[in-house]
Amino acid sequence: MGDPNALTNIDWVNISNWLTMYWIAFPLVIITAFTLMTALAFIPSAVQTGHLPPAFIRLRWPMVVFAVAVWVVAWIFWVSVMLLTPEMLGNIYDRFLV
């Protein structure tokens, strides 16, 4: 492994693109987690204990579908940033396997 080189302007633009996509995807992952937690844990528990009427159990599967859709959108952001700049990791880390 050679000496590290300074990052060029193009490298900084690529890093900026990565961070932008990650900051867009981060809230989507949080939304996914809270939606799944509500649909699969809170609603069944609240219906079983009687805090919510039994009609709320029908909200579970639409919420799960919504959460999966949001998760897919987050993955699309992550994959798109890797496909847009595939050489970026090679510029920063010249060896993937040591």
For the residues of 28-68, what is the DSSP string, one character each? Answer: HHHHHHHHHHIIIIIHHHHHHHTSS-GGGGGGHHHHHHHHH
Phi, psi of 8 (to 5 degrees): -85, 175
* Cα atoms in the Cβ-side hemisphere of radius 13 Å centred on 84: 16
pLDDT higher than 80, residue 91:
no
CB-based contact 71:61 (threshold 8 Å): no
Position 46 scores a pLDDT of: 96
Average pLDDT, the chain: 85
What is the tens place of the pLDDT at every residue in 46-73? Answer: 999 999 999 999 999 999 999 999 999 9
Residue labelled with tokens 């890093």: 15
Mean pLDDT of 28-37: 96
Query: Tell me, what's the pLDDT at 20?
Result: 86
Those residues with Cβ within 8 angstroms of residue 53's Cβ, 6 or more apart along the chain or in another chain: 47
Can you give the pLDDT at residue 80? 81
Entry pTM: 0.74
